[in-house]
Homo-oligomer: A and B are copies of this chain.
Amino acid sequence: MFHVGLIGLGRIGKLHAENLVKEFPQANLAVVADPFLNDDMRAWAQSLGIKNLTAHPDEVFRHPQVEAVLICSPTPTHEALIIEAAQAGKHVFCEKPIGSDIAQIERALEEVEKRGVKLQVGFVRRFDHNHRKVRESVKEGKIGKPYLVKITSRDPQPPSLEYLKASGGIFFDMTIHDFDMARYLSGSEVEEVFACGTVLVDEAVAGLHDFDTAVVTLRFTNGMIGIIDNCRQAVYGYDQRTEVHGSQGCIWVENDRPNTSLLLTRNGTVREPFLWFFLERYKQAFIDELKAFFHALGENTQPPVDGVDGLKAVLIAQAASRSAREGRIVKVGER
């Protein structure tokens, strides 16, 4: 039996907790912490049979049996919690992004290194059956030398303004996944970024100095070019497409749908809408990323998405954010 702690009971924390309870009989969710513990959380925990609930994250780190901690708290707390976990000798699974302050992230990675604990970052899309197939095809040389990587990522509906205020901006909150995808699919590093952002969905977003629609061009060290398009609103459902074009061909993946039906009527042929949002689309991937994490712990190997991956995505997001604000090309890691 493997003992695990979890910090942060927002949407994603609850999702991981539920997966742990239902899908990992070999794991024991020994303790769950949330500083803003409330009755809803208590009822939810009870329904899952989680007994040890606390408002003090410290208790997770002090728990003698806990070997690994899942950090699902708000982004600004990530670096400090990673450091605490590492110092307590606990392995860490940290939700994306790994943090918001480059220096702090570097400090956390040093601590992880020094304490010899493992760290995996929650870039769940790497575990999706579709995107993984794109990566494998590129890696196996099925499209020859890669030229272009294209990523479309659009949410079905915008989050609340409340959420957006604390999100760090579209590049840190939403595109961060695509920056990781770009590195994963290309197998190369991003050197330069040009980002173009605008507000088309909800004018209130402009008041937050954020964007709700964005297009990002990336230049990679291996010469490839990348393109990302994001929108906070796609009424037809979560739109998640990736594509790599190369010298011998092209590989792309389409969206998943709940079934394969075609309804043919006078007005055309209707297929089902896409799976609605990330909970539906990446349902299995959320389980598989934990499997990979536990596998790395069990086999004492490097987790498939580590702290450096977490840091690099943040560096690209930082460059994109500057590029969009200043209207110029920005080098990744520019000081």
Whether the pair B267, A270 counts as a contact (CB closer than 8 A) is: yes
Whether the pair A215, B273 counts as a contact (CB closer than 8 A) is: no
Among candidates B142, B215, B258, residue contacting A263 with C-beta atoms closer than 8 Å: B142
Whether the pair B251, A264 counts as a contact (CB closer than 8 A) is: yes
Quick check: is A116 within 8 A (CB to CB) of the other chain? no
B residues less than 8 Å from A251 (CB atoms): 261-264
Whether the pair B269, A271 counts as a contact (CB closer than 8 A) is: yes
Chain A interface, number of residues (Cβ within 8 angstroms):
69
Whether the pair B260, A267 counts as a contact (CB closer than 8 A) is: no
Whether the pair A147, B201 counts as a contact (CB closer than 8 A) is: yes
Whether the pair A148, B231 counts as a contact (CB closer than 8 A) is: yes
A:186-212 near B, CB below 8 Å? 194, 196, 198, 200-201
Given pairs A154-B245, A229-B245, 14 additional interface contacts (CB within 8 A): A130-B259, A133-B261, A150-B152, A196-B219, A196-B225, A214-B225, A237-B264, A250-B263, A251-B261, A254-B260, A255-B260, A264-B273, A267-B273, A268-B273
Whether the pair A213, B148 counts as a contact (CB closer than 8 A) is: yes
Whether the pair B273, A250 counts as a contact (CB closer than 8 A) is: no
Whether the pair B260, A245 counts as a contact (CB closer than 8 A) is: no
A268 to chain B, nearest CB (A): 5
Report how far A21 CA is from B317 CA in the complex, Å. Answer: 44
A:260-308 near B, CB below 8 Å? 260-274
Whether the pair A227, B247 counts as a contact (CB closer than 8 A) is: no
B residues less than 8 Å from A223 (CB atoms): 198, 200
Whether the pair B269, A200 counts as a contact (CB closer than 8 A) is: no
Whether the pair B249, A245 counts as a contact (CB closer than 8 A) is: no
Quick check: is A28 within 8 A (CB to CB) of the other chain? no
Whether the pair B236, A269 counts as a contact (CB closer than 8 A) is: yes
Quick check: is A35 within 8 A (CB to CB) of the other chain? no
Whether the pair B254, A262 counts as a contact (CB closer than 8 A) is: yes
Given contacts A227-B227, A249-B263, A268-B272, contact A145 B200 (CB under 8 A): yes
B residues less than 8 Å from A154 (CB atoms): 245
Given contacts A233-B247, A248-B235, A249-B235, contact A225 B254 (CB under 8 A): no
Whether the pair A253, B261 counts as a contact (CB closer than 8 A) is: yes
- CB-defined A-B contacts under 8 Å, sample of 27: A129-B259, A133-B261, A148-B231, A150-B152, A154-B245, A194-B194, A196-B217, A198-B223, A198-B225, A213-B225, A214-B225, A215-B227, A217-B217, A236-B249, A236-B250, A236-B265, A239-B250, A248-B266, A249-B266, A250-B264, A251-B264, A252-B262, A255-B260, A256-B260, A267-B270, A267-B273, A268-B272
Among candidates B253, B259, B262, B329, residue contacting A328 with C-beta atoms closer than 8 Å: B329
Report how far A87 CA is from B258 CA in the complex, Å. Answer: 42
- Closest chain B residue to A154, Cβ basis: B245
Given contacts A148-B229, A194-B217, A250-B264, contact A270 B269 (CB under 8 A): yes
- Closest chain B residue to A142, Cβ basis: B263
Report how far A5 CA is from B22 CA in the complex, Å. Answer: 23
